[in-house]
Amino acid sequence: MLARFRERAAAVKGRPLPPIAGEERQRFIQQAQSDYMDFAIIGDATASIEDGILVLRVDLRPADKKP
């Protein structure tokens, strides 16, 4: 599952812009940025199953604060 999200993040990042202009273009760009961020966060998570529940852990600490 995590690999799929990594692949989706890469696909969004490499997605070409459609031939649109103005506000539609800006909305497309903003949506692509949100999609990339969502997929990348989940793709970078550490997954485990605890008591039958899928747990995704995402370390949001700055790089200089990580162990």
Q: Which domain holds residue 35?
A: 2-65
| pTM check: above 0.85 | no
Mean pLDDT of successive 10-residue stretches along the chain, which has 67 residues? 89 86 90 92 93 94 84
d(CA 28, CA 16): 11
pLDDT of residue 66: 80
Number of domains in the chain: 1
pLDDT of the residue at 36: 93
**Confidence (pLDDT) at 1:** 82
Tell me what pLDDT residue 47 has. Answer: 94
Strand-pair partners of 50 = 53
Identity at 40, one-letter amino acid code: A
